[in-house]
């Protein structure tokens, strides 16, 4: 007898790729740390680097990359989110927060996400504005998460860290057609 396991599309299109992206981010940051050590660059130089003077620094981009998914997941998780994306000041602290955020995201039940997909949730930038969880994910969370992640990547590339597209995308596993 074949058992069909319910896979939540909502979870698969939000939590799953965010967790993979955070795992890739950890690897990217390890490469950045190695590059800084090899080139005798103070890590603070990278962490405070910006693409343009009026943009956030690398550490601020990383903080948002951590805060956004934890803030989103709190609407579906059984526990409150860890405090990530607020006070990190070093690569080590960012790595620690990636671990906390990833563990938290991993605790989110796909079934609970399905049950709450239509729930109106307040946006993190305006508690008086609410959107359905699915709309919030599609129009705010996913684009904002990838924006800050991409800018962090670009800051590191701009500062000579040898990264390529596969560092950003990570391992892509082949899946047989359904």
Query: For the residues of 58-91, what is the DSSP string, one character each?
Result: HHHHHHHHHHHHHHHHTTT-SSPPP--SSS--SH
Asked if 31 and 167 count as a contact pair (C-beta separation under 8 A), the reply is yes
Domains of the chain and any CATH numbers: 9-169 (1.20.120.450)
User: For the ranges 72-76, 125-129, 142-146, which has the lowest average pLDDT?
Assistant: 125-129
Quick check: helix, strand or coil at residue 5?
Answer: coil
pLDDT by residue (tens digit) across 40-78?
A: 999 999 999 999 999 999 999 999 999 999 999 999 999
Q: Is the backbone of residue 122 left (phi > 0), alpha (psi -120 to 50) or beta?
A: beta
Question: Which residue is it, tokens 């956004």?
Answer: 68
**Of 7 and 27, more confident:** 27
Residues 6+ apart with CB under 8 A from 9: none
């Amino acid at each position: 007898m074949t058992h069909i396991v319910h896979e939540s599309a909502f979870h698969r299109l939000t939590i799953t790729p965010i967790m993979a992206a955070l795992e890739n981010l950890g690897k990217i940051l390890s490469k950045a740390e190695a590059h800084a050590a090899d080139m005798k660059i103070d890590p603070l130089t990278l962490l405070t680097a910006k693409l343009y003077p009026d943009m956030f620094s690398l550490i601020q981009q990383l903080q948002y990359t951590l805060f956004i998914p934890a803030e989103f997941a709190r609407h579906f998780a059984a526990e409150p989110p860890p405090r990530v994306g607020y006070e990190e000041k070093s690569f080590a602290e960012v790595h620690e927060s990636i671990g906390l955020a990833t563990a938290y995201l991993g605790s989110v039940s796909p079934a609970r996400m399905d049950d709450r997909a239509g729930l109106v949730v307040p946006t993190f930038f305006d508690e008086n504005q609410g959107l359905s969880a699915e709309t919030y994910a599609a129009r705010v969370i996913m684009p904002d998460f990838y924006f800050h992640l991409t800018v962090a990547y670009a800051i590191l590339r701009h500062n000579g860290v040898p990264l390529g597209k596969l560092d950003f995308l990570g391992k892509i596993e082949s899946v047989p057609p359904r």
